[in-house]
Amino acid sequence: MRRYFLPVLGLILMLVSLYMVFVYVPTEKEMGIVQRIFYLMVPMGWLALLSFLLVFIGSILYLVKRQARWDALAYSSAEVGLVATTGALVVGSLWARPIWGVWWTWEPRLTATLVLWFVYLAYFMVRSFAGEESRGARFAAVIGIVGFIDLPIVVLATTLWRGMHPGGVIFSGGLESRMLLTLLVSLAAFTVLYVVLLNLRLALKNAEMVLKQVQANKSETES
């Protein structure tokens, strides 16, 4: 029963948020229908950040405690995070086209997301190049920590460098109440989706580790 609780909750929230995005929420005056992509873009960006935070925490705990489960957490979260970051970039690009007339613009948050994407790729690359698995986990943890601490400075530098995003609207109370409600429901739906995906990936990772252990034991008894 408990196994199905989160996936079902996620499904319900996702359907509600779809209804709200397409039917309930009013169309934005200046940008028109395209603005509805906002309710997909913000949750994607939020997941990219949330998963990177978990990579950061998992990395620190792995380096300090050296338990494989913390690495498994960081690794699984990084995988979901890479998907979310890619999604945020694609959705951002789709939104930029009708609004700014270009597919890509060096807007601060997009730029920072792109940098984040490259850090995630480095996280996986260093693992595959490290040879041994435990060494790869250690190196990746270093990237996870350094990359996360770097992120606020990247945002600061890129914001100072360029500026054209409708930035503070959400928090300064400039968002209409129905829009805010839709955004919150979308955020909740995607956060639940994140937890579901993370749990699935963790279960898979654990199964992989058990399988490897079994194989190692088997070859030991045979020799």
Partner 1 sequence: MSFLRKALAITRKDILSEFRTREIIFSALLFALLVIITFNFAFGGSQETLSVVAPGILWVTFTFAGILSLNRSFVAEKEENCLEGLMVAPMSREVIYAGKTLGSLLFMIVIEIIALPVFAILFDLPVFSAQIVTVTLLATIGFVAVGTLFSALAVNTKAREMVLPILFLPVVVPVIISAVEASGLALSGEPWGELAPWLQILGAFDVIFLVVSFWVFSYAIEE
Interacting residue ranges for partner 1, rule: CB under 8 A? 63, 115, 118-119, 121-122, 125-126, 129-131, 135, 138-139, 141-143, 145-147, 149-150, 153-154, 156-158, 160-161
Q: Tell me the angle at which helices 2-19 and 177-222 cross, rounded to the nearest 10 degrees.
A: 150
Dihedral angle at the C-alpha atoms of 84, 88, 89, 90, nearest 10 degrees? 100
Nearer to partner 1, 140 or 189 (CB): 140
Nearer to partner 1, 10 or 58 (CB): 58
Nearer to partner 1, 89 or 197 (CB): 89
Q: Of 213, 169, 215, 205, whose CA–CA distance to 58 is shortest?
A: 205
Q: Tell me the angle at which helices 133-161 and 38-65 cross, rounded to the nearest 10 degrees.
A: 140
Name the minimum Å distance from CB 139 to partner 1.
5
Nearer to partner 1, 22 or 118 (CB): 118
Nearer to partner 1, 133 or 150 (CB): 150
Q: Which residues of 179-189 are buried (b: 16+ CB within 10 A; e: fewer)?
A: beebbebbbbb
Name the minimum Å distance from CB 134 to partner 1.
11
Name the minimum Å distance from CB 19 to partner 1.
39
Name the minimum Å distance from CB 54 to partner 1.
18
CB 107 within 8 A of CB 165: yes
DSSP tag of 34: G
Q: Of 42, 14, 39, whose CA–CA distance to 25 is shortest?
A: 39
Name the minimum Å distance from CB 168 to partner 1.
19
